[in-house]
């Protein structure tokens, strides 16, 4: 397993993260346990802000909270000077409860409900990223009733889609998100938005994909958005002060993956903005980006205790851990790959190839196919790296398995930031109607 951030193997042959021995974390907090390397999260935040400062452009780096949204993480993003993207009332509530400054919160989503819009307006958040015409009209109406003027971006699809090493130039008409530039709906949306008395149109938003390893997709999107900005300026006399280029910056999950350094993505973006936006408006637009995975992904490690195993001669050996698709659904959802090591015997030589299974009643509940480890025994501590993004935030209670605790580790101290769910939590929202509440008495 590649050792990210402050992860290292200590004198006891144990995996250590943030100065904390993971075997001690297992004893203190139990497993499964999400461990977040706080210093690495802060480092990633700073890589973004420093790269943008070097560009000389005005900017905001908004952490896409959906990757890992808990109050402590919102605090951390706020301390590092980031803005915050939310997509639901639940994420917004989390951010507000954490004291995140409302004016640095951006509200995303393709189906914001009237209640969510009300809540966000009452909180006076910084910006709505408007996805469609129904939302645009609803936002105008609610803002008018509340006598507020609201800053908005319009989400557009620039006709570029990027996944890891491929970027595809598409008609992009077939997306649930945003206004299409190619078919003219984005132009109509700008015209409509600019005429709404309670909406202040700051600019455009484009998000081309996720886990992107190259800069070409961003450069292409910037070129298309700039061309569109020029068209809109000429046709409607509307100029944009903000261009939001979304997130999607890749990270290294497993050997062989070679994402760029954060500064390389940022420099490619700012250079392309300088090139393509020159002369459209008196000033270059402010650039916003929205990294999620690349802020928290490689800072997370999940610790599991090994339980049973099943060795099928000449086929494979399954090793089961005390979590699985409930705490990490990504392998089941996307066939995502992960690396692992035996955290309590990290120096021992590789002896067998095993597959790591979860404990759910579901054959698809596999975390890793074929990982090389020392001989694995019941009670061993297994660490799976790069689980900081889209793990806790996608966790479920399937099989009524309790969601794990989350700890932030730094300078030898493990700090609980999310408590492990209790069995009482599991039935907390259950209601048994009176008519089926008659106890059967066995005599």
Which residue ranges make up the site for ligand PLP (CB under 6 A)?
64, 66-67, 108, 207, 210, 246-249, 290-294, 389
Closer of 292 and 300 to ligand PLP (Cβ): 292
The answer to whether the CB of 358 falls within 8 A of the CB of 365 is yes
Q: Report the SS3 class of residue 424.
A: helix
Question: DSSP assignment, residue 162?
Answer: E
Task: Write out the H or E segment, with its range, that includes residue 266.
Answer: helix 262-277
Calpha distance 45→269 (Å, rounded) = 17
CB 128 to ligand PLP: min, Å = 13
Calpha distance 262→295 (Å, rounded) = 10
CB 437 to ligand PLP: min, Å = 43
- Six-digit token string for 291: 């990294």
Closer of 129 and 332 to ligand PLP (Cβ): 129
Calpha distance 47→219 (Å, rounded) = 20
- Angle, helices 262-277 vs 216-236, to 10°: value is 30
Closer of 44 and 345 to ligand PLP (Cβ): 44
Identified catalytic residue from 69, 127, 360, 361 = 361
CB 81 to ligand PLP: min, Å = 18
From the list 5, 15, 30, 32, the residue with the least C-alpha distance to 303 is: 32
CA dihedral 401, 37, 254, 317 (to 10 degrees): -40
360 is catalytic: no
CB 207 to ligand PLP: min, Å = 4
CB 66 to ligand PLP: min, Å = 6
CB 93 to ligand PLP: min, Å = 19
Closer of 16 and 290 to ligand PLP (Cβ): 290
CB burial class (10 A; 0-12, 13-18, 19+) of residue 42? middle
Calpha distance 80→50 (Å, rounded) = 11
From the list 92, 84, 82, the residue with the least C-alpha distance to 113 is: 92
Q: Which residues are catalytic?
A: 361
């Amino acid at each position: 397993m590649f050792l990210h951030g402050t992860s290292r193997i200590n004198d006891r042959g144990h995996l250590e993260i943030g100065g904390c021995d993971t075997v001690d974390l297992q004893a203190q907090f139990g497993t499964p346990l999400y461990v977040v390397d706080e210093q690495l999260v802060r480092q990633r935040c700073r890589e973004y802000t420093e790269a943008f400062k070097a560009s000389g452009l005005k900017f905001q780096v908004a952490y896409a909270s959906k990757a890992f949204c808990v109050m402590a993480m919102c605090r951390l993003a706020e301390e590092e000077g980031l803005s915050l993207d939310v997509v639901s009332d639940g994420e917004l509530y989390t951010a507000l409860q954490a004291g995140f400054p409302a004016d640095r919160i951006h509200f995303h989503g393709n189906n914001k409900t009237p209640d969510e819009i009300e809540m966000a307006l009452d909180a006076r958040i910084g910006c709505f990223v408007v996805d469609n015409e129904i939302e645009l009209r609803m936002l105008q109406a609610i803002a008018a009733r509340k006598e507020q003027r609201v800053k908005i971006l319009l989400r557009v699809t620039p006709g570029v889609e990027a996944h890891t090493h491929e970027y595809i130039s598409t008609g992009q008409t077939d997306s649930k998100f945003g206004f299409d530039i190619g078919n003219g709906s984005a132009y109509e949306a700008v015209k409509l938005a600019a005429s709404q008395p309670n909406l202040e149109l700051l600019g455009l938003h484009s998000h081309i994909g996720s886990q992107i390893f190259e800069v070409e997709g961003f450069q292409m999107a910037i070129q298309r958005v700039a061309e569109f900005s020029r068209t809109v300026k000429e046709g409607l006399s509307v100029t944009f002060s903000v261009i939001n280029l979304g997130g999607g910056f890749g990270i290294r999950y497993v050997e062989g993956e070679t994402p760029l350094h954060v500064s390389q993505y940022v420099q490619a973006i700012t250079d392309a903005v300088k090139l393509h936006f020159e002369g459209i408006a008196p000033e270059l637009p402010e650039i916003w980006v929205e990294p999620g995975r690349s802020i928290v992904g490689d800072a997370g490690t999940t610790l599991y205790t090994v339980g049973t195993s099943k060795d099928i001669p000449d086929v494979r050996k399954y090793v089961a851990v005390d979590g699985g698709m409930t705490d990490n659904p990504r392998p089941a959802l996307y066939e995502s790959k992960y690396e692992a090591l035996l955290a309590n015997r990290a120096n021992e030589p590789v002896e067998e190839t095993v597959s790591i299974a979860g404990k759910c009643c579901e054959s698809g509940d596999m975390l890793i196919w074929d990982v090389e480890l020392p001989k694995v025994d019941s009670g061993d501590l297994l660490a799976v790296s790069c689980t900081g993004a889209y793990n806790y935030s996608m966790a479920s209670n399937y099989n009524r398995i309790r969601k794990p605790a989350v700890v932030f580790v730094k300078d030898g101290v493990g700090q609980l930031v999310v408590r492990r769910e209790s069995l009482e939590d599991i039935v907390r929202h259950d209601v048994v109607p009176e008519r089926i509440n008659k106890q059967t008495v066995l005599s």
